Amino acid sequence: MTRKIVAAVLLVCLLVVGFRATGPVPPLGPFLDPANGVWGGAAATSFPVIQQLSIDGVQAPVKVLFDDRGVPHIFAASEDDAYRALGYVEARDRLFQMEAQTRAAAGRLSEWAGPRLLDTDRENRSLGLVWGAEKKFASYDKSSPGFKAISAYADGVNFYIAHMRPRDMPVEYRLLNARPIKWQPIYSIYFLSRMSLTLGFNDATVRRLKAQSFVGRAAADALFPVNSPIQQPIQPSGTSEPRFDFAALPDPGKPDSSTVAVARAREAMLNTFAFRKPTETADAIGSNNWAVSAKRTSAGHALLAGDPHLDLSLPSVWYEMHIVVPGRLDVAGVGFPGVPGVVIGFNRDVAWTFTNTGSDVNDYYEETVDDTAHPSRYRLDGQWKQIEKRAEKYFDASGRLLATDTVLFTHRGPLRRELGRWLSMRWTVYDQSHEPDNFMRLGYAKNVSEWLAGMRDYVVPTQNGLVADRSGNIAIRSSGKFPIRPGDGRGDVIRDGSVSASDWVGQLPVEKYPFSLNPAQGFLASANQQPVDPRVNASYMGSDWYSPWRAMRINQLLRADSAMTPDKMRRFQTDPGSARADVFVPFFLASAAHADSVGRSDAALRSAASLLAKWDRRYVRDNRGAVLFEAAMTELATRTWDELRDPKKKPSPGDRLNYPEAQVLVELMRAPTSAWWDDRATPEREDRDAIVSASLRAAYEGVLKTNGAPTTDGWLWSTTRRANINHLLRIPAFSALDIPVQGGPSTLSPSSGAGTQGASWRMVVELGPEVHAWATYPGGQSGAPASVRYKDRLRSWTNGMLDQVLFPKTPGELDHKRVISTLTINPR
Amino acid sequence: MNVKTFVKFILLAEGFAVATYGLGWWSVPVVAALWALFSGDPAKARFAALAAGFGWASLLLLDVQRGPVGVMGSQLAGVMKLPALALYILTLIFPALLAWCMATLVPSVRKGATA
């Protein structure tokens, strides 16, 4: 009898845990099922060698050959068929990632994770991204190639979802106990809006306002200037560069308490977006691209290189593809899973890549509302205007309503209450645009001019588009909508929302965009620096630009070599040299020598100076000098910018995010007795040499204490800086962590402190009679963590190597030994 | 185990495997119930449990042939903070317990109905 009772109770328990999730544990039945569950998914990580299927809407057979790098070569009779096939294969490889990104952009993560992510969803929607994307989608020209492509792509994705076997379900869905949702064409627009948040959300205002609250307006303006004090612009100015446009920094002024609330409000707004919250200084992040004209290359063909840097993730943010529509389109490169087409890549005639411009395209307005608690109207030019209200509903996984918010909008954009003030935001991402069409057009370009024409009406996020063609031409243009503001034209201030005179008055004409075609120097480069010399074009495009260390280094390398090769370009992408170190090391050494000469030196300072003097300024993995230099730079910034911290609080690592760019520190170096050098915590008045030498000494003692003697492994660069590539769900078992990498702050492949930023794609293209390309990215084509193609490119990426990209004109031209799978998609 | 029993065991194990493949995990207790219904011997519950575990083991072996089950196992073990071996054991014990429970309960239900 007991046996039967035990069996009955156990059966009930097994059926419960079999059918239902228990806490974080998914339903065990479908999970453990070796035929249809997670184990069966292991079999689904590899493709059948030959596969045939029929998809609704396909007009003619499509052949998709997967090469041994996992890249699909799609041969189709029309673009429509090609994008339908692309939707299918991207869903097969990256379905979970596509949906995760869409949910993040659409503020629907709580439908997976419940109340835990409700706040994130609320903030996402209150920023107006969904509102903007829906407006954009509704007004999208339905007959445009871009719209047709996202529709065909959605069909392909949905065909895959509808016909996937249970075992094909990505493991993440099983862990979340979720099922894929039907793909809508608007999801591609959601994703692009999210990229605009990543790349086109300028936070210069908040740093300047915070500084203003401590040291007044004049000092804050100088610390976070509109124009870089070191000029190495993207558009060569024709004069000797870099140019050091140094001015005397005004002394710290009186705190400006009027900005405290606004600064905090802005900061609060930024901080609510965990993924937008800055965690790295500009020295640790950044993208590069450069091109060399035919006359400066060894083979006499133009060369182009690009390495856009983004948050690193597994699966990778990119998916590599090759799309051929005979007689019309033959384009290869990478695009975003979830958005059809190649964003960065090449065709038979041109190659292109982007870096982020980082221009100021979002502004804030302080609004006057009729009711500070529950406003329904806002004041504009003496009249009350109705506030647009939008109900946002949030559900959990079971469909239960978690919350309903009313999001408010003025004619400018979302209206939010921050610390008692009502701020509305104007942002180019809310404006009508059609990026899918822009990106698609690039694939058809036959030369540089056609490529530039394809980007003429591009809007957001602003990008430095670099292009080279087979005729040896090279060009670069910073493209996108650059708003023109009234008055002084600056966007890094909070404007009065009660008058329409505060609104944008237009946008910069394309002819005024930073641009260069075939410059006399024979090369072009961009690395997120200020795009144009203000002496050439004084239009306001932004402020607080990244220090141009990487740009200086690229220019230095390219200027020194008039016989460039693809392999040299590849090596430059992970070049360990640092213009920043070249500038700062002499200051440290001079201050140590000065301390010696006035009898203020000691053994620690002398040892530190000796080590630094021997340092070759290269951030290679086995280097032992970089650790000391970086510690000294951190000390220097902390000691110099003490005026920008709350004196009642102890310095914290996060403070560095509020300090000015290192180029401003160089500017200050010219004033050895400036009041900025004084350490407020001491009764004495320090000067430059005292602070610089004290920083070096403290750095040496600190590294000695934490890392051991200079001869130990603790001083190896590889022990301190590592890449950490997290899975989208931050599951360590699906991530690639602790990877020693070459490069440091401000090198061409900057490695950040957290190691979560880096080159998301590296590409070199040679535009000869035949186009040759080499590329890699940190990850692999498959989104399945157990797949051999999940992170198979990580090794080449870590070592700065590139794989040759296969670029066959026909299916028959692809070496059959390198084909791992053939998929034929027939009309249904 | 004689040849007849051995053949029975293999057939039952493959019955579990085929049913799981075609219908899903929930077919395990169904097959066990049918088995118990026709064999009518509560002592055969252990036999059914072993066969169910064996059936799923054979499916797992097929997966091993077709994909990186080992990698998957160690990754999932990492996610669930379990030793990888525990996950494999759980995969085999789960159907075995389901089958055992059903094979234990069904004969008595049948007996009750007959009485």
Contact A86, A72 (CB under 8 A): yes
Q: Compute the count of residue pairs across chains A and B with CB atoms less than 8 Å apart.
A: 114
Name the pLDDT band for A279 (thresholds 50, 70, 90).
low
Given a cut of 60, whether residue A809 has pLDDT beyond it is yes
pLDDT of residue A527: 97
Given a cut of 50, whether residue A80 has pLDDT beyond it is yes
Determine the residue type at A520: A
Measured in angstroms, the CA of A105 and the nearest CA of chain B are apart by 26
Whole-angstrom Cα distance, residue B35 to residue A665?
A: 81
Please indicate if any CB of chain B lies within 8 Å of the CB of A36: yes
pLDDT of residue A275: 44
Whole-angstrom Cα distance, residue A389 to residue A410?
A: 9
Whole-angstrom Cα distance, residue A344 to residue A773?
A: 12
Measured in angstroms, the CA of B105 and the nearest CA of chain A are apart by 6
pLDDT of residue A552: 97
Compute the average pLDDT of residues A456-482: 97
Per CB-CB distance under 8 Å, the chain A contacts of B76 are 38, 171, 733
| Higher pLDDT among residues A125 and A762, named by residue | A762
From residue B107, give the alpha-carbon distance in Å to each of B45, B67, B112: 10, 40, 8
pLDDT of residue B98: 97
Apex A135 CA angle, A132 and A141, nearest 5: 130
CA B107 to chain centre: 18
Per CB-CB distance under 8 Å, the chain A contacts of B79 are 175, 731, 733-734
Residues 6+ apart with CB under 8 A from A610: none
Per CB-CB distance under 8 Å, the chain B contacts of A315 are none
- Parallel, antiparallel, or unpaired for β A474-479 and A803-804? unpaired
- Do A788 and B78 make contact, defined as CB atoms within 8 angstroms? no
pLDDT of residue A276: 44
Measured in angstroms, the CA of B24 and the nearest CA of chain A are apart by 7
Apex A583 CA angle, A244 and A714, nearest 5: 155
Name the pLDDT band for A274 (thresholds 50, 70, 90).
very low
Given a cut of 90, whether residue A702 has pLDDT beyond it is yes
From residue A158, give the alpha-carbon distance in Å to each of A151, A221, A715, A828: 11, 52, 53, 15
Rg (CA), chain A: 28
- The b/e string for A403-430 (b: 16+ C-beta within 10 A; e otherwise) is eeeebbbbebbbbbebeebbbbbbbbbb
User: How is residue A387 annotated by DSSP?
Assistant: P
Kindly state the percentage of chain A with pLDDT values over 90.
84
Pick left, alpha or beta for residue A420 (phi over 0 → left; psi -120 to 50 → alpha; otherwise beta). left
pLDDT of residue A239: 83
3-state secondary structure of A427: strand
- Name the β-bridge partners of A775: A763, A803
Whole-angstrom Cα distance, residue A181 to residue A100?
A: 11
> Please, how many CA atoms are within 13 Å of residue A802, restricted to the half-sphere of its CB?
26
pLDDT of residue B108: 74
pLDDT of residue A732: 95
Per CB-CB distance under 8 Å, the chain B contacts of A10 are 97, 101
CA-nearest residue of chain A to B98? Answer: A11
Dihedral angle sign, alpha carbons of residues A681, A685, A689, A690: negative
Contact A139, A432 (CB under 8 A): yes
Q: What is the pLDDT of residues A33-64, one digit of tens each?
A: 999 999 988 888 888 899 999 999 999 999 99
Q: What is the pLDDT of residues B82-97, one digit of tens each?
A: 999 999 999 999 999 9
What does pTM read for this prediction? 0.94
Please indicate if any CB of chain B lies within 8 Å of the CB of A38: yes
Whole-angstrom Cα distance, residue A493 to residue A209?
A: 8
- Do B101 and A14 make contact, defined as CB atoms within 8 angstroms? yes
Residues 6+ apart with CB under 8 A from A435: A146, A192, A458, A459, A460
Rg (CA), chain B: 16
Whole-angstrom Cα distance, residue A328 to residue A330?
A: 7
Compute the average pLDDT of residues B87-113: 88
Given a cut of 70, whether residue A272 has pLDDT beyond it is no
Residues 6+ apart with CB under 8 A from A313: A725, A726, A727, A728, A779
CA-nearest residue of chain A to B75? Answer: A733
- Do B79 and A43 make contact, defined as CB atoms within 8 angstroms? no
Name the pLDDT band for A420 (thresholds 50, 70, 90).
confident
Contact A287, A355 (CB under 8 A): yes
Determine the residue type at B1: M
Instruction: Tell me the average pLDDT of chain B.
Output: 90
pLDDT of residue B113: 56
- Do A36 and B72 make contact, defined as CB atoms within 8 angstroms? no
Considering only CB atoms, B101 lies closest to which of A10, A175, A731, namely A10
Q: Let me know how long chain A is.
A: 828
Q: What is the dihedral of CA A114, A116, A121, A124, to 10 degrees?
A: -160
Considering only CB atoms, B78 lies closest to which of A41, A732, A787, namely A732
- Least trusted range by pLDDT, from A190-204, A370-384, A760-774: A190-204
Compute the average pLDDT of residues B9-20: 96
Measured in angstroms, the CA of A578 and the nearest CA of chain B are apart by 39
Kindly state the percentage of chain A with pLDDT values over 70.
97
Given a cut of 80, whether residue A266 has pLDDT beyond it is no
Instruction: Tell me the average pLDDT of chain A.
Output: 93
The owner of tokens 């694939």 is A443
- Do A786 and B78 make contact, defined as CB atoms within 8 angstroms? no
Q: What is the pLDDT of residues A422-444, one digit of tens each?
A: 999 999 999 999 999 999 999 99
Dihedral angle sign, alpha carbons of residues A551, A557, A562, A565: negative
Given a cut of 80, whether residue A330 has pLDDT beyond it is yes
Residues 162-191 of A with CB under 8 A from B: 166, 171, 175
Whole-angstrom Cα distance, residue A110 to residue A222?
A: 43
Measured in angstroms, the CA of B33 and the nearest CA of chain A are apart by 12
pLDDT of residue A332: 98
Name the pLDDT band for A269 (thresholds 50, 70, 90).
low
**Ramachandran angles phi, psi of A434, nearest 5°:** -150, 65
Name the pLDDT band for A123 (thresholds 50, 70, 90).
confident
pLDDT of residue A280: 65
- Least trusted range by pLDDT, from A93-107, A291-305, A414-428: A414-428
pLDDT of residue A697: 98
Name the pLDDT band for B20 (thresholds 50, 70, 90).
very high
Q: What is the pLDDT of residues A637-683, one digit of tens each?
A: 999 999 999 888 888 878 888 899 999 999 999 999 999 999 998 99
3-state helix, strand, coil in chain A (%, to 5): 40, 20, 40
Contact A824, A796 (CB under 8 A): no
Name the pLDDT band for A711 (thresholds 50, 70, 90).
very high
Q: Predicted ipTM? A: 0.94
Whether residue A461 has a cis bond before it, omega within 30° of 0: yes
- Least trusted range by pLDDT, from A23-27, A136-140, A213-217: A23-27
